[in-house]
Structure 1
Amino acid sequence: MREIFSNLLRRKLRSTLTVSGIVIGIFALTTMGSLAEHFNSLLDIGVRYAGAAIPVQAPPEQQGALLPLSKQAELARVQGVSAVYPGYTVQARPGGSAIQLGAPDLIVNQQAGAEQYGLPGPKFAAGRNLAPGQQGEIILGPTIAGDLGKRTGDTVNLPVKPPGAREDFVSHPFKVAGVLTKNGQTDTFAYVSDADARMLLADTLSPTVRSAIDVNTVAQSFTVFPTKGTSLNEMDAIAARVNEQVPGVHAQKPSELVANFKSAGSTFTAIFTGAAILALIIGGLSVVNTMIMAVSERIREIGLKKAVGAHTGQILREYMLEAAVIGALGGLIGYGIGLGLTTLLDVLGASSNLDIFLVTPRLTAIALGFAIGMATLAGIVPALRAARLDPVTALRSL
């Protein structure tokens, strides 16, 4: 190993440039890969949510229409349905900027007990769950809690009154009962009771519509749960039965939602693959060039070693090991810079709940393994050239 480092130090500039080529490639692989890992982790959570329930809304031709709450009982009678929850969604920041980076802050009704049907249960960073039947309390996701600057025990007025709001705009005070841990899927949600959700929904309706309906008899949507562990195929069949047996609603097949998540994941996997190819091209070519030059400069040295008994395999291993060391150095430096940058950016974005990178053990293994493996493979041809040199010819060279 000492001889390998001594050989690398013979041409410091060339070795530095070669290692730098690998550093650039592995840095790109680490940063782009951590973006893909973070996004795919969110998609995995989305798949869990999409694969646990069947969303039911108004038919496409009546998009946005309110549904009679009586549909809840009709849905519950469909074969395979174990539970039905009404759904209400209100913007926490109505009239915000048209340019939205990330998911909007939303107020939704809590689906208490839905975890027994396969939906991930709430996990609290602080505080507690909503008390049964209690109004005026709210649970905040970590992102919306950070946006509003609220903690457990604080009072928050929602929806947030936008600039230039109408005189009759209404905000309601809620006591923060708890703040959830980050899960990447519901971080921008705030959860209230069904009664509070209907109260907030009523505030969004025009006076004409509000006077014409009883908000306590309608829902914006329904979430249908089968028995926990039901397959996607059976859930699709339940959705089909809902569409056949319950008029005035439309159930979406969970398999379609899962497919959409996986399709998005394929896009980021392609980005990850592109970064790997970039690392291969940049790093591989630089290693090949360096090793060919090393062989050319050490022909007499190789001939002397073979003359005193060094086998072809020994020469081959020596030069492949030298290439692997170059790859390891470049990989460690490139990965270290990438890890440092992504960690720094996540720390700087922590105050605004903006984390976009995720360095996983899998990514670490891929980055370092790829650097060493790529450099070793790139060194095969120069190593074979060195191993096949005729010792007599090599010793005669200048």
Structure 2
Amino acid sequence: MTSGVTTRTTAGEPTRPHRDDRLDRPIAAGSGDRPVRLTGGDVLRLGMLGIRTRRIRAALSALGISIGIATMIIVTGIPASSRQDLMDQLAELGTNMLRAQAVADQKPPVQLPPESAAMAARIGPVTKASAVANTHAVVRRTDRIDAFDSSGLTVLASRSDLLDAINGHVRAGRFLDSSTEGFPTVVLGYIAAGRLGINRLPAGGEPPMVYIGEQWFTVIGILDPMPLSPDIERSVLVGWEAARTELRFDGRPTVVYVQAEEQAIEDVRAVLAATLNPQLPGLVQVSRPSDALAAKRATEQTFSGLFLGLAGVALLVGGIGVANTMVISVLERRREIGLRRALGASRGHIRWQFLTESVLLSALGGLAGTVLGVLATVGYAVSQGWPTVIPPGSVAGGVGGAVLVGVAAGVYPSIRASRLTPTEALAAP
């Protein structure tokens, strides 16, 4: 039997295959001292050798890089979730909304066509469009108040889809719809409700009423504050058809509200005036995008730079830990390296062994850190009531970055190990 030793055969002796204990696989007899090629499985088993035999140290080393990767995901995931919550709040304000109206103080007055909202809706990036019109009527709390005392409030004819176009919300009651817009009913803006002394709607009993023109109107709803639509806050909204029949409204809108895809908001603004009034586009005034949109974009850029810096620091800390572990491992395993070299392992074999061990150690730590970071981010975001956002780049970078860190951290220790001669390594204390 021959095991781990190369046998020489004499002439006429039959040759028998033997095994090389260094790799635990057969080598053809008569191969002599020819170098052995390592397969992928061989390299993987050699790399796992140090991890299996030094489990506590391997676990602690993997823990170091897993903490680094988990930190990277947490410091990107939690701010990303917070940023998404902020972006949602800014979007609710109407950062993608435009407001178009005819230029005032023109002789004769400029009027928008009755189908203005439908014309605006045909612009490609536009997602929602609606309109209101000034009825020039006066609203009073009772018919005993001076007919010219409007309290600074405007009576607007409103489309039933107005709230969707301006991101408005009803605080109490309900908004105008197809079942009420033809009847003498109104919805009060937040400031208008305060000035009229109607701050709530009774759950039961008689609803409050206001006097508009020469007609009583029933209040069916009160709106929430809308900082980006102050004109609606100070208005009393009447259904489009009710304004026609009760207030002799001519059906021509005075203001058109448009929502568009955020990235195309400037393009929509450029063509909106010509769409609403092709003959005289210069007489249509279109608001510029909200300052909240500029703040939103600046916030996105600031957060992106912060993410990149924090992720780089986390990976650097993890890489230093792995490199330190691998250098110590080479120092402690010099006898093992010398024995393998004495048995015929080449310098390349030694380099691949320690480099693979470094990569496996980092990859295991990266996987554990990724799972830990994702769970921590989800838990914190849920506890804060934020939408959970895990940047895909962080997850991919968690594992991919760990592998790259393992390669970088293992290069020097693997080269150092391969340069040890058998006599130097075996003579080490």
Q: Same fold (TM over 0.5)?
A: yes
Give the deviation of 1:386 after TM superposition: 1.4
- Note if contact 1:239-1:253 (Cα within 8 Å) is conserved in structure 2: no
Residue in structure 2 matched with residue 35 of structure 1 by the alignment? 78
Give the deviation of 1:289 after TM superposition: 0.8
Give the deviation of 1:265 after TM superposition: 2.2
Residue in structure 2 matched with residue 298 of structure 1 by the alignment? 333
Residue in structure 2 matched with residue 124 of structure 1 by the alignment? none
- Note if contact 2:72-2:398 (Cα within 8 Å) is conserved in structure 1: yes
Identity of aligned residues (%): 25
The two structures have a TM-score, normalised by structure 2, of 0.52
- 1:55-88 Cα offsets, whole Å, 9 max, x none, are 12689xxxxxxxx995575967999974852379
Residue in structure 1 matched with residue 403 of structure 2 by the alignment? 372
Residue 230 to residue 286, structure 1, CA distance change in 2 (3 Å): closer
Instruction: Say which is worse superposed, 361-370 or 323-332, in terms of deviation.
Output: 361-370
Residue in structure 2 matched with residue 287 of structure 1 by the alignment? 322
Give the deviation of 1:288 after TM superposition: 1.0
Q: Using the alignment, how far apart are the partners of 1:4 and 1:395 within structure 2?
A: 21
**Paired residues, number:** 302
Q: Using the alignment, how far apart are the partners of 2:307 and 2:71 within structure 1?
A: 9
Look up the SS of the partner of 1:359 in the other structure.
coil
Give the deviation of 1:250 after TM superposition: 3.8
Q: Using the alignment, how far apart are the partners of 1:326 and 1:392 within structure 2?
A: 29
Residue in structure 2 matched with residue 98 of structure 1 by the alignment? none
Out of 235, 238, 253, the position equivalent to 2:271 is: 238
Q: Using the alignment, how far apart are the partners of 1:321 and 1:109 within structure 2?
A: 67
- Note if contact 2:315-2:405 (Cα within 8 Å) is conserved in structure 1: yes
- 1:138-169 Cα offsets, whole Å, 9 max, x none, are xxxxxxxxxxxxxxxxxxx99999xxx89923
Look up the SS of the partner of 1:371 in the other structure.
helix
What does residue range 72-111 of structure 1 map to in structure 2 within 5 Å? Answer: 82=123, 84-86=129-131, 110=161
- Note if contact 1:56-1:224 (Cα within 8 Å) is conserved in structure 2: yes
Which is richer in helix? 1
Out of 320, 324, 342, the position equivalent to 2:377 is: 342
Residue in structure 2 matched with residue 134 of structure 1 by the alignment? 179
Partner amino acid, structure 2, of 1:286: G
Ranges in structure 2 where 5+ consecutive residues have no aligned partner: 1-43, 103-108, 134-158, 167-174, 182-186, 204-219, 237-246
Residue 52 to residue 388, structure 1, CA distance change in 2 (3 Å): same
Out of 251, 275, 279, the position equivalent to 2:287 is: 251
- Note if contact 1:284-1:378 (Cα within 8 Å) is conserved in structure 2: yes
Look up the SS of the partner of 1:379 in the other structure.
helix
Q: Using the alignment, how far apart are the partners of 1:392 and 1:158 within structure 2?
A: 93
Look up the SS of the partner of 1:55 in the other structure.
strand
Give the deviation of 1:332 after TM superposition: 2.5
Ranges in structure 1 where 5+ consecutive residues have no aligned partner: 60-67, 89-107, 120-129, 137-156, 175-194, 208-213
Give the deviation of 1:54 after TM superposition: 5.7
Give the deviation of 1:315 after TM superposition: 1.6
- 1:228-282 Cα offsets, whole Å, 9 max, x none, are 999667435325768993558442259x987754443222222221232122221
- 1:71-114 Cα offsets, whole Å, 9 max, x none, are 575967999974852379xxxxxxxxxxxxxxxxxxx9735998
Residue 313 to residue 39, structure 1, CA distance change in 2 (3 Å): farther
Residue in structure 2 matched with residue 168 of structure 1 by the alignment? 197
Correspondence 1:19 to 2:70: no
Q: Using the alignment, how far apart are the partners of 1:203 and 1:77 within structure 2?
A: 21
Residue in structure 1 matched with residue 426 of structure 2 by the alignment? 395
- 1:178-212 Cα offsets, whole Å, 9 max, x none, are xxxxxxxxxxxxxxxxx9689999995499xxxxx
Bigger relative CO (Cα 8 Å, ≥ 6 apart)? 1
- Note if contact 2:85-2:386 (Cα within 8 Å) is conserved in structure 1: no
Which structure has the larger Rg over C-alpha atoms?
Answer: 2
Residue in structure 2 matched with residue 223 of structure 1 by the alignment? 257
Look up the SS of the partner of 2:331 in the other structure.
helix
